[in-house]
């Protein structure tokens, strides 16, 4: 189940990145590169941090074809894809929790400290979007008050501590998704945000 959702969410991330590239008039190479950075960046940074080799897309290079194919398909269907805001938000929210769970699992498998397990899950879930926004010269979405990283941490905590409590893996996964995904959707609908630090005093 996780694998299927992972591939669907990966393709969705690639398509949203392609739209962002199109808004900035990037060429086709830029579209594909931004799609790869967005869809694969979180897992890549996680593997680098954890010294976990080979990188997951090096171990499974066909995922590059999926990402680039989704990006190029978006070029052909841009006007249709651009109207599918809510389906993409749903897939993005589902992808966030699934990427987080997978990131936590990788860290658990190498025997990482519990804190690192949670960080690995969060990095997997949010860093692709951060890299996309940085390359597009935007303030990353996760830094603008969106309840995004918090959802990832909650999902990771449920998954990790559920496993540590001896609950079967499949059950823990379902519970983590059942909490994390609706939390992200409710945060979008109700516009829940993290507190912001605003300091505009001029020292000159």
Domain positions in the chain are: 2-190
pLDDT of residue 3: 83
Distance (Å) of CA 193 to CA 50, 107, 189, 197: 30, 28, 11, 12
Extract the residue ranges of the chain whose pLDDT is less than 50: none
pLDDT of residue 110: 94
pLDDT of residue 203: 60
pLDDT of residue 204: 60
């Amino acid at each position: 189940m996780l694998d299927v959702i992972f591939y669907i969410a990966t393709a969705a991330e690639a398509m949203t990145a392609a739209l962002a590239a199109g808004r900035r008039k990037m060429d086709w190479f830029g579209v594909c590169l931004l799609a790869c950075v967005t869809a694969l960046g979180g897992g890549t940074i996680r593997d680098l941090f954890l010294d976990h080799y080979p990188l997951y897309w090096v171990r499974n290079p066909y995922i590059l074809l999926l990402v680039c194919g989704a990006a190029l398909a978006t070029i052909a269907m841009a006007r249709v894809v651009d109207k599918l805001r809510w389906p993409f938000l749903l897939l993005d929210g589902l992808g966030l929790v699934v990427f987080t769970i997978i990131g936590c699992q990788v860290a658990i498998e190498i025997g990482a400290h519990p804190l690192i397990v949670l960080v690995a899950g969060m990095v997997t879930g949010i860093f692709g979007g951060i890299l996309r926004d940085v390359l597009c010269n935007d303030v990353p979405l996760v830094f603008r008050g969106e309840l995004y990283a918090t959802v990832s941490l909650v999902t990771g905590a449920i998954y990790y501590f559920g496993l540590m409590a001896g609950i079967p893996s499949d059950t823990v996964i379902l519970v983590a998704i059942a909490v994390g995904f609706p939390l992200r959707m409710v945060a979008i609908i109700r516009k829940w945000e993290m507190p912001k630090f605003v300091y505009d005093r001029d020292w000159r």
